[in-house]
Amino acid sequence: MSTTKLDKKSFQRAVEDGKTLIVDFWASWCGPCMSFAPVFDEASKKHEDIIFGKVNTEEEQELAGGLGIRSIPTLMVFREQVLLFNQAGSLSPSQLEELITQIKALDMTKVHSEIAEEQKKKADEQPAQST
């Protein structure tokens, strides 16, 4: 599978789909982005079970800003609507493969359980609202 160009609407749909989604935030003037592009493209051909998306930060400034993208390239990985990885900087082919292996191996039931526990803990720490 090749990479998919994402915009604000298609990005949201891709995350909500719940499948594993790896997103490369890039710009045409960014040297490291251009160096990372072939690595990202090659991984997309190897892992057809993963959606590989690209967001051009020049064209999608609102999306990039809303996600807090401060430097590029930035890589984000979502699975079952959970952000699992968010890091600026390019990865080598072996680093990207290792990341993909780790993402695939995650026990998402455990991840969702840990998120629920954190949310409950935060809710319990909130002071009672008086009406």
pTM: 0.88
- In the 3-class helix/strand/coil scheme, how is 65-121 assigned residue by residue? HHCCCCCCCEEEEEECCEEEEEEECCCCHHHHHHHHHHHHHCCHHHHHHHHHHHHHH
Comparing 70 with 2, the larger pLDDT belongs to 70
Q: How many residues does the chain have?
A: 131
Instruction: Give the pLDDT band of residue 1 (cuts 50, 70, 90).
Output: low
Domain 4-124 has CATH 3.40.30.10: yes
pLDDT digits (tens, 9 = 90+) for 61-97: 999 999 999 999 999 999 999 999 999 999 999 999 9
Catalytic residue numbers read: 30, 33
| Every domain of the chain and the residues it spans | 4-124
